[in-house]
Structure 1
């Protein structure tokens, strides 16, 4: 499943110009607290959720998720978005219970109604150490995939599990290089990871 990027929300709330200015002037990333800027512009957490729910999702994707789950596939989400965004989309499409794990940046709504996002890898404390240059600074999906694979192996007593990885962004290139011989990578044609591969 493709989670909507921060840009979808920023664009949908009419704040693109302001976020571009902040990014250029202050070298900020949307994970640096974009919820504060949206809140200051009078946008509520409900506005953010409404934009997320308006993100186009092909009905065939929903059908594929349900079919894979019915076949017993262990579905997981690995995303450099954030938990609020992902949960909003999953809830909107009735899919939250189909995924055994969501690995992403943490998020919470504070007492003032602002969305606060904490990166998966705390880039304020230092880099996550990935040297490929394709991972966003808030998450090395390759390192996250290694953790998922290790926890899966521990839960199954070391039994090998075949991984089928679907991705579209530059950040999906790193984990694609960590897949094993029996695994599959399904890049989205015409998107950054397709071009990198």
Structure 2
């Protein structure tokens, strides 16, 4: 709880947001880089079926004798900014409810959190469920929460509408209200949750040079506002752009240091 007892929710995407890689492609590069061609061919033949692709990859890795320990060693080596890890610790100390919302899988995310000592600081992990069966093969199932109506972003995969998950978190049966909601993301799949937020409560932190920044910049231009999102400076307390008349405040970050300094200014300012 912050000094003014605000209720704060901070939601992180995982791949290329909390960490600096795509965890699925990282695992393949580390354990079986020759499968890159298979992944490309499957993705071209079955667009939008990434979770099904990864199940096939896990099957092939199992055939090669890849074990849980092999996965864990590779996950432990995923590049991550120490400043992002410190940002999560800072948020937790401030009493924020910190959650992860990702189209990766629960095993990768939970193994990463355990390795970095962050598991007790994360209240929810919403991702495609994954587990090891009795033979030691890693299996993944789709999250299967789609938007009940056509998604406003028109970009959500069939298995996971992040916007719907965020909406469910923001409007629970308990009617718990958050004073501020932060969303940290990078990709096209993060547009839907970004559009579910509104000022003055909602803040979106978009990674520079990635799809989310480009899509939000396009939305700004359509609304007749600035064509490009401003870069987040470590000295700024608030991102200075907003999407539409009531959309969230948005800023662009380039490094974990940007993210940490932003949260430091928000929580301690």
Taking structure 1 as the reference length, what is the TM-score of the superposition? 0.86
Q: Name which one, 1 or 2, has greater alpha-carbon Rg.
A: 2
Return the alpha-carbon distance in structure 1 between the equivalents of residues 46 and 99 of structure 2.
34
Q: Would the alpha carbon gap of residues 128 and 111 (structure 1) be closer, same or farther in structure 2, given more than 3 Å must change?
A: farther
The number of residue pairs the alignment matches comes to 192
Per-residue Cα deviation, 1:14-33 (whole angstroms, up to 9, x for no partner): 22223223334566834111
Q: 3-state SS of the aligned residue for 2:103?
A: strand
Rounded to whole Å, the distance in 2 between the matches of 1:58 and 1:16 is 26
1:149 and 2:170 correspond:
yes
CA contact (8 A) 1:169 1:193 kept: yes
Q: Which residue of the partner structure matches residue 37 of structure 2?
A: 17
- Tell me which of 84, 100, 107 is aligned to 2:107: 84
The separation in 2 between residues aligned to 1:129 and 1:8, in whole angstroms, is: 32
Tell me the alpha carbon deviations over residues 31-78 of structure 1, each in whole angstroms, 9 at most, x when there is no partner: 111311211233222222222111101111111111110011110111
In structure 2, what is the Cα distance between the partners aligned to 1:110 and 1:162? 40
- Distance verdict in 2 for CA 1:190–1:35, change over 3 Å: same
Cα contact 1:164–1:186 (8 A) shared by 2: yes
Report SS of the residue matched to 1:184. Answer: strand
1:29 matches 2:49: yes
| 1:110 matches 2:133 | yes
CA contact (8 A) 2:188 2:212 kept: yes
- Between 1:159-168 and 1:108-117, the stretch displaced more is 159-168
Aligned in 2, Cα 1:147/1:172: closer, same or farther, shift over 3 Å?
Answer: same
Change (3 A) 1:96 1:160: closer
- Structure 1: runs of 5+ lacking an equivalent: none
1:64 and 1:18, CA in 2 relative to 1: closer, same or farther beyond 3 A? same
- Give the drift of 1:112: 1.1
| Change in CA separation of 1:193 and 1:27 when aligned onto 2, cut-off 3 Å | closer
Could you tell me which runs of 5 or more consecutive residues in structure 2 were left unpaired when the two chains were aligned.
1-11, 16-21, 217-269
Residue 133 of structure 1 and its aligned partner are, at CA, apart by 3.2
The ranges of structure 1 where at least 4 consecutive aligned residues each deviate by more than 4 angstroms after the TM superposition are 25-28
TM-aligned CA deviation for residue 118 of structure 1: 0.8
* Structure 2 CA distance for partners of 1:121 and 1:100, relative to 1, 3 Å: same
CA offsets 1:148-169 (integer angstroms, 9 cap, x no match): 1122xx44x4434321111111
- Answering whether residue 80 of structure 2 is matched by residue 57 of structure 1, we say yes
Q: Supply the distance in 1 between the matched residues of 2:85 and 2:155 (Cα, whole angstroms).
A: 28
The separation in 2 between residues aligned to 1:196 and 1:6, in whole angstroms, is 24
